[in-house]
Each structure stands twice: as C-alpha cells, then as structure tokens.
C-alpha cells in the first residue's frame, strides 16, 4: 500500500513539474514525428505528407488538457494512452491520418462516432465549421464535454448515445469518422454520408486483423471502399444486433 501511494505521489509531482513551454515543445516534436511517419507510410496511405491544415490543427490542440492528469507527462508521445473505462485516446499519427483521409474543408459538417477524450473532435473543430460527436460511455462523454467547453470549443455538439446509428436529425454529413473498430460498416452511417463525402472507419475484430477503411460516396450515391493500413482500436460498443 505504501509503495502504491509513493508511485501516485511521484506521478503527481512529475506531472506538476511539466511547464507550458515543455508541453509546447513536446507538441512540436510530436508534429515532426508524425510528418516523418507520413513519409514512411505514404505508399500505403496515399499521403506522403499530411496537409498544412491538418498539421496546424494538431499543433493548436492542447492534447495534455484532454487526457487524465496522471498521463499528461506522456500526452505528446506518439502512442495511444488510457483514458479510463477501458478506452484509449488514439495515437497522434492515427488521428492525423484519419483526419487527412476525411479531406475536411472549412465549410464541412463532420460526424464523429466515439468521442473518447474529445481530442479528435478538437482537431476537427480547428478545421471544419461543425462537429457532431457521439459517445456511448456517459462519464467519458460528460468529461469530454466539460473539457472541450473549458478549452473554448463552440462548434462541437456532443451527445451520449449508440453511435452505430449515427445522428440522423443532424445529418447528412460531409464526413464521418469512427474511432472504434466495427465488424462491418454500419448502414445507418452510410445513409447519413453526403454524396461526395468520406468516411474513415476501422473494420475487423478485437482479436483479429483490423483494417483502416476509407469509404467514399460519389455524386450518384455509389459507395466504394479502400483498405488503408492495419490498425488496432478498441471495439465499437452498443446494443445493436441488426442494421437499420
């Protein structure tokens, strides 16, 4: 018990010792690492260098403000981090890649399924006019909403619900991003995607190979999909057993 208390105290001291300037430098280091990785994976993803608007958004968002205090010292490490309730915040490179694949524009309205900590929503909110985000785990949704409001994001709407069914009354959407792995692409989300829109979603099983998929709907409503690269996400949860 004493050892556990000592670890907690040391963690708190380490977190408190990191200054705003340290976080700023760590964030810039993260950006450089992401661009380096984009070059290495460009043959698979089709993006050897991520766009300035995506990287500028990542440079603006204070990721350390959207993770638990005990993990803030690692907020800008290029890896996933636990955020509680068995969930994680995605690796920054994956956040950048998924954002890039969405091809977001300033006038776009984007749906996010799986708010988590709110980090991906914040990145999108730096680029597009409106973000609608759904979180099925109520404590996570409430915490993300409080954090995003505290950080001044006015163009994010969040609700607690089963994201499999999307947000029909707010749709259709220019882009949809799903931050948990599904066994298939949910038909309700395809319906809520505008012609010309993009959806990015990991597909597979929890203990199977997962593929990050790009879903594109053309102007005639025809849908095509493309595998981007192998990934690892926590599963999309909810009570759905059949597609609507």
Q: What is the pLDDT of residues 156-171, one digit of tens each?
A: 999 999 999 999 999 9
Residues 198, 108 contacting (CB under 8 angstroms): no
Could you tell me where the beta strands, DSSP code E, fall in the chain?
81-84, 87-89, 109-113, 130-135, 156-160, 173-178, 193-203, 210-217, 223-231
pLDDT for residue 242 is more than 50 = no
Q: Which of 1-5, 24-28, 172-176 has the lowest mean pLDDT?
A: 1-5
pLDDT on residue 49: 93
Residue 90 is a catalytic residue = yes
Q: Give the whole-angstrom CA distance, residue 68 versus residue 16.
A: 13
Which among 11, 16, 36, 90 is annotated as catalytic?
90
Buried b or exposed e, range 159-169, using 16+ CB within 10 angstroms = ebbebbbbbee
Q: Give the whole-angstrom CA distance, residue 76 versus residue 93.
A: 11
Q: Look up residue 213 and give its DSSP letter.
A: E
Higher pLDDT, 89 or 241: 89
Query: What is the phi-psi region of residue 196: left when phi exceeds 0, alpha when psi lies from -120 to 50, beta otherwise?
Result: left
Q: Give the mean pLDDT of 86-97.
A: 94
Confidence of residue 19 (pLDDT cuts 50, 70, 90): confident
Between CA 216 and CA 87, with CA 162 as vertex, the angle to 5 degrees is 90
Residues 52-89 pLDDT 10s: 999 999 999 999 999 999 999 999 999 999 999 989 99
Higher pLDDT, 212 or 235: 212
Residues 203-223 pLDDT 10s: 998 777 899 999 999 999 999
Both structure tokens of 31 = 């950006």
**Could you give phi then psi for residue 196, rounded to 5 degrees?**
90, -5
Q: Which domains does the chain have, with CATH numbers?
A: 2-231 (3.40.50.150)
What's the chain's average pLDDT? 90
pLDDT on residue 17: 56
Confidence of residue 244 (pLDDT cuts 50, 70, 90): very low
Residues 176, 199 contacting (CB under 8 angstroms): yes
Both structure tokens of 235 = 């599963």
Q: Where are the alpha helices (DSSP H) in 46-130?
A: 52-60, 92-102, 119-125
């Amino acid at each position: 018990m004493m050892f556990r208390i000592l670890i907690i105290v040391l963690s708190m001291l380490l977190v408190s010792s990191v200054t705003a300037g340290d976080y700023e430098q760590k964030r810039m280091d993260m950006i450089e690492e992401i661009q380096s990785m984009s070059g290495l994976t460009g043959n698979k993803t089709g993006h050897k260098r991520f766009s300035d608007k995506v990287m500028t958004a990542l440079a603006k968002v204070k990721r350390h403000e959207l993770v638990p205090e005990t993990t803030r010292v690692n907020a800008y490490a290029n890896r996933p981090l636990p955020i509680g309730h068995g969930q994680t915040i995605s690796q920054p490179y994956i956040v950048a890649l998924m954002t890039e694949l969405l091809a977001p524009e300033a006038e776009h309205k984007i749906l996010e399924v799986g708010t988590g900590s709110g980090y991906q929503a914040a990145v999108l909110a730096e680029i597009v006019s409106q973000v609608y985000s759904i979180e099925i785990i109520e404590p996570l949704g409430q915490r993300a909403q409080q954090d995003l409001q505290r950080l001044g994001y006015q163009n994010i709407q969040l609700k607690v619900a089963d994201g499999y069914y999307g947000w029909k009354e707010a749709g259709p959407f220019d882009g949809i991003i799903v931050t948990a792995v599904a066994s298939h692409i949910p038909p309700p989300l395809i319906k809520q995607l505008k012609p010309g829109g993009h959806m990015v979603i990991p597909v597979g099983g929890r203990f199977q190979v997962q593929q990050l998929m790009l879903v594109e709907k053309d102007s005639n409503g025809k849908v095509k999909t493309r595998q981007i690269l192998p990934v690892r996400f926590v599963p999309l949860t909810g009570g759905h057993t059949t597609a609507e």
